[in-house]
A and B are shown apart, each in its own frame.
Chain A
Amino acid sequence: MSETVNAALAAFERVLDRRVLAALEVCARCGICADSCHVFASTGEFQDTPTARSEAVRRFYRRRHDPLGQIFPWWVRAKDATEEDLDALTEAAFATCTLCQRCAMNCPLGVDTALIMKAARAMLTAVGKAPEMLVQLADAAIVRGENPDLFREVYKEIVADLEQQARERLDDPTVRIPMDKQGADILYVALSGAHTILPAAIIFHVAGADWTLSAFEASNYGVFLGNPEKAQAIAQRIVDEATRLGVKQIVLTECGHAYAAMRWEAPNWFGRDFPFRVRSIVEVLAEYVQQGRLPLDPSANPEPVTYHDSCNLGRKGGLLEEPRIVLRAVAQNFREMTPNRAEAYCCGGGGGLVAIPEWEEKRLRAGRKKAEQIRASGAPLVATSCENCFLQIRDLSAHYHLGVEVTGLMELVVNALLMARAKAKTAPQPVAVAA
């Protein structure tokens, strides 16, 4: 076996914990998981079934760990791994599996193929076979974290401009986008786009929230690589900032993997839970709606709107009802896709796939099932709370000629909020009657 293969197998041993081992051992190869996979449902190709993907790992696992695999490899289709196998596994683990766990939800035995693929990603990343773009994005984030002052002044100028825009939209000169605010309740972590900062600033101002904007972005490409060291390094800058400022909670913008990473996985990398809460802006929006902290007029969003459950927020994150609480308050005509919530189909762009240009055709093909769902809903507007889902669905709309617009929840909330404020301003004032 080549040095690369040996290094890959050694890396796999390091991630082979009880959960991964159980997932490798328990499969009865009944094939019932096939239809649950959006990729197989879209392509119909054997290698796109969850079992085919996980068997690609089981073959060399059995060769090393199973007595029958060692003595009679043909009996259990065990084989020694080769570099060609690793290349094929790279495509399976990064290009045709988005780690959505829909297969795990549907397996009678609970086989977590996504967990096996995540272990495969860790192994492949360790030997330099991960997609170059994901590695570059992760490394770039680490460099930014190590040199925050290099980017801070430029960022502050951008934020100042956004602050002005927020004031104009709200017609309120007191709107602020604070940064480095000591002791704030919320440290809001956006992405690099203004569309993740401006609406949040408006919402927080109207809700009277005590918040401060993070100097860093929420995205964590270390997660997609299955590299906990890089993922921790990227998360570290936000954790340090939250600790330094003494905030009570980190609130992440509408980004599925960023939420899953910081909320669910980061405590494992750091070996401890955090002294502050970690929430998604979706949870905060639902809370504001339920507490009546935002004046909202749903007539601002009259078009039928459907909701795409991001896998990382919904099935893997537990935020199944919160987006619906918001949508029912801000949209006049909200309609569900079928299936939805924990049974929702992946859009096909998850697992970092939307950032990898060489696999664009694969992800668009894999998104056919989601495109069919959107078309069947009849809604011209698709709301989603995940940036990668947003990009994928926008591309699906073009590819499959769906003719839909895609929006985030925050934008719908701002529409409803501005409409309510505008109506309140133009509403006739009660006339005082002399006694």
Chain B
Amino acid sequence: MGIWGWVVAGAFAGTVAGLGRHLAILLGRAYRPERAGAMGSPAQGVLYAFTWGMMPWAKESTRLHLLAYLRGVVFHIGIGAAFLALLVSPWRAQMAPALRWGLVALTAVGGLAGFAGLVARIAEARLRRLSTPDDFFSVTLVSLFTLAAGAAWVVPPLLPVFYVLAVATLLYIPFGKIRHCFYFFFSRYFFGVGFGRRGVIGWGKAHE
């Protein structure tokens, strides 16, 4: 593994350590499960929360703001592609062209979606008022990282830039708002368990 490999691995270890600290803090807090007899299925609620409940038609907010929803989806797919690109970057020369260009496309579109979100956050008065400096920085950093993932594969001299941005992103994850990617799983789980056991969500529940 080259020097960058060690640096990125070290940054990833920092991410794991930082998120590990968050996990320890979370698990150190009391968990007060509902004791009332269930009316519905908590398991079905959790499954719904992570699958059907994430679809754009499942919530009024995403139906009303479909463009923002799609922008977010594309952005997060791009982020995932960027991390995949980071992982396989030592073997990029051996990768099938279709896969290589697929990752480039996803990261390019994802990164642009991220910047579009940043523009929205600056331009919309309510979002601007809501945002903290961390919000602006986090979106900028992750969007640059995502764009750099594709760019570095097209323009190999940009690879060190990609690795620097990757290290910065990895190290910042536990500190800034990017850590919502970690808390997402707990939040959706609690949502699913709570509304699922009350028979509000799950399959066969009427939303009109």
A316-B198 in contact given A46-B129, A108-B72 (Cβ < 8 Å): yes
Assembly CA distance A118 to B97 (angstroms): 54
A-contact bits for B165-202, CB 8 A (1 contact / 0 none): 00000000001110110011011101110110011110
In contact, A30 and B72 (Cβ under 8 angstroms): yes
Residue of B nearest to A77 (CB): B132
- Collect the chain A residues with CB atoms within 8 Å of residue B134's CB: 68, 75-76
Stretch at the interface among B7-15, B60-68, B105-113, B144-152: B60-68
In contact, A268 and B36 (Cβ under 8 angstroms): yes
A109 at the interface (CB under 8 A from B): yes
Stretch at the interface among B27-35, B85-93, B153-161: B27-35
In contact, A318 and B62 (Cβ under 8 angstroms): no
In contact, A104 and B191 (Cβ under 8 angstroms): yes
Please classify how large the interface on chain B is, using the bins under 10, 10 to 19, 20 to 34, 35 or more: 35 or more
Assembly CA distance A112 to B193 (angstroms): 13
User: Chain B's nearest CB lies how many Å from the CB of A28?
Assistant: 5
Q: Which of A108, A268, A270 has the most CB of B within 10 A?
A: A108
- Collect the chain B residues with CB atoms within 8 Å of residue A343's CB: 60, 207-208
Assembly CA distance A21 to B27 (angstroms): 10
Assembly CA distance A29 to B68 (angstroms): 13
Q: How many A-B residue pairs have CB under 8 A?
A: 170
In contact, A268 and B34 (Cβ under 8 angstroms): yes
Assembly CA distance A107 to B187 (angstroms): 10
A398 at the interface (CB under 8 A from B): no
Q: Which of A46, A105, A111, A271 contacts B187 (CB 8 A)?
A: A111
In contact, B198 and A341 (Cβ under 8 angstroms): no
- The residues in B between 6 and 54 inclusive whose CB is less than 8 angstroms from any CB of A are 22, 25-27, 29-32, 34-37, 39-40, 49, 54
B-contact bits for A22-42, CB 8 A (1 contact / 0 none): 110111111111111000000
- Collect the chain A residues with CB atoms within 8 Å of residue B127's CB: 29-31
User: Chain A's nearest CB lies how many Å from the CB of B74?
Assistant: 14
A310 at the interface (CB under 8 A from B): no
Assembly CA distance A317 to B59 (angstroms): 19
In contact, A318 and B207 (Cβ under 8 angstroms): no
- The residues in A between 245 and 297 inclusive whose CB is less than 8 angstroms from any CB of B are 263-268, 270-273, 277-278
- Collect the chain A residues with CB atoms within 8 Å of residue B61's CB: 32-33, 35-36, 106-108
User: Chain A's nearest CB lies how many Å from the CB of B52?
Assistant: 13
In contact, A112 and B126 (Cβ under 8 angstroms): no
Assembly CA distance A107 to B65 (angstroms): 12
User: Chain B's nearest CB lies how many Å from the CB of A110?
Assistant: 3
- The residues in A between 186 and 228 inclusive whose CB is less than 8 angstroms from any CB of B are none
In contact, A341 and B132 (Cβ under 8 angstroms): no
In contact, B36 and A26 (Cβ under 8 angstroms): no
Assembly CA distance A22 to B49 (angstroms): 15
Assembly CA distance A65 to B25 (angstroms): 10
- Collect the chain A residues with CB atoms within 8 Å of residue B64's CB: 35
Assembly CA distance A265 to B29 (angstroms): 20
Q: Which of B31, B68, B206 contacts A17 (CB 8 A)?
A: B31
Assembly CA distance A277 to B135 (angstroms): 47
- Collect the chain B residues with CB atoms within 8 Å of residue A104's CB: 191
Residue of B nearest to A31 (CB): B127
In contact, B30 and A74 (Cβ under 8 angstroms): no
- Collect the chain B residues with CB atoms within 8 Å of residue A52's CB: 130
In contact, B200 and A268 (Cβ under 8 angstroms): no
In contact, A74 and B133 (Cβ under 8 angstroms): yes
In contact, B126 and A49 (Cβ under 8 angstroms): yes
A321 at the interface (CB under 8 A from B): yes
Q: Which of A28, A34, A110, A278 contacts B191 (CB 8 A)?
A: A110
In contact, B206 and A51 (Cβ under 8 angstroms): no
- Collect the chain A residues with CB atoms within 8 Å of residue B179's CB: 25
Assembly CA distance A340 to B205 (angstroms): 12
- Collect the chain A residues with CB atoms within 8 Å of residue B30's CB: 17-18
- Collect the chain A residues with CB atoms within 8 Å of residue B124's CB: 31
Assembly CA distance A107 to B195 (angstroms): 14
A67 at the interface (CB under 8 A from B): yes
B83 at the interface (CB under 8 A from A): no
A28-B199 in contact given A268-B34, A343-B207 (Cβ < 8 Å): no
Assembly CA distance A31 to B62 (angstroms): 11
Residue of A nearest to B191 (CB): A110
User: Chain B's nearest CB lies how many Å from the CB of A282?
Assistant: 13
Q: Which of A21, A23, A30, A36 contacts B68 (CB 8 A)?
A: A30
In contact, A26 and B198 (Cβ under 8 angstroms): no
User: Chain A's nearest CB lies how many Å from the CB of B64?
Assistant: 6
A18-B27 in contact given A51-B130, A104-B191, A106-B61 (Cβ < 8 Å): yes
In contact, B200 and A320 (Cβ under 8 angstroms): yes
Q: Which of A31, A55, A317 has the most CB of B within 10 A?
A: A31
In contact, B32 and A76 (Cβ under 8 angstroms): no
In contact, B135 and A22 (Cβ under 8 angstroms): no
Residue of B nearest to A324 (CB): B206
9 cross-chain CB contacts under 8 A = A26-B183, A29-B130, A77-B132, A108-B61, A108-B69, A109-B188, A110-B49, A264-B34, A272-B35
Which of B's residues lie within 8 Å of A, judged by CB?
22, 25-27, 29-32, 34-37, 39-40, 49, 54, 59-62, 64-65, 68-69, 72, 124, 126-127, 129-135, 175-177, 179-180, 183-184, 186-188, 190-192, 194-195, 198-201, 205-208
A-B residue pairs, 8 tightest by C-beta: A110-B191, A318-B199, A106-B61, A267-B35, A26-B183, A26-B187, A110-B187, A318-B198
